[in-house]
Amino acid sequence: MRFFQGMDINSSALGAQRLRLDLISANIANANTTRTPEGGPYRRKVPVFAENLQQAVGGNALSGVRVLAVTEDQSPFRQVYDPAHPDANLDGYVLYPNVNIVNEMVNLMEAGRSYEANVTAFNTSKEMFKAALSIGKS
């Protein structure tokens, strides 16, 4: 294992969780957006992560996480009866985004905890390296 491999893994996870937090924020902000430039309501955005493998002596070595894509959730839109709304269809129903605020808040807390755990692991590695370097000073 390389000297800084643990820090590399933690930093890639921090970047991935940061993207996840950004997407959750966008989902919450657009929870009531019924009209987008693409047409129709906003679709919930979801990141797709994968492990990042690098070739190493004797096989593959884990070196963090990478973002494969940002996809749109294909679950159905919410239909709300509101014939006075400008985006209502002929039956009086408005299509609202497929964003569930409760689920987004749970995902937000989970991503925040994961980010925090990776910061803690990164700082622990840094302290271990500092302690190892101070052994040679004495």
Q: Give how many domains the chain has, as a whole number.
A: 1
Q: Identify each DSSP E strand in the chain by its residue range.
A: 45-56, 59-72, 78-81, 93-96
Residues of the chain with pLDDT under 70: 1-3, 55-62, 138
Q: What's the rounded Cα separation, in Å, for the pair 95 and 46?
A: 20
How much is the pLDDT for 8?
A: 85
pLDDT score for 126: 87
Range of the domain at 60: 5-135
Residues 6+ apart with CB under 8 A from 17: 111, 114, 115, 118
**Prediction pTM value:** 0.84
Cα–Cα distances (Å) from 111 to 25, 31, 102, 105, in that order, read: 11, 19, 14, 10
Cα distance from N-terminal residue to C-terminal residue, the chain: 27
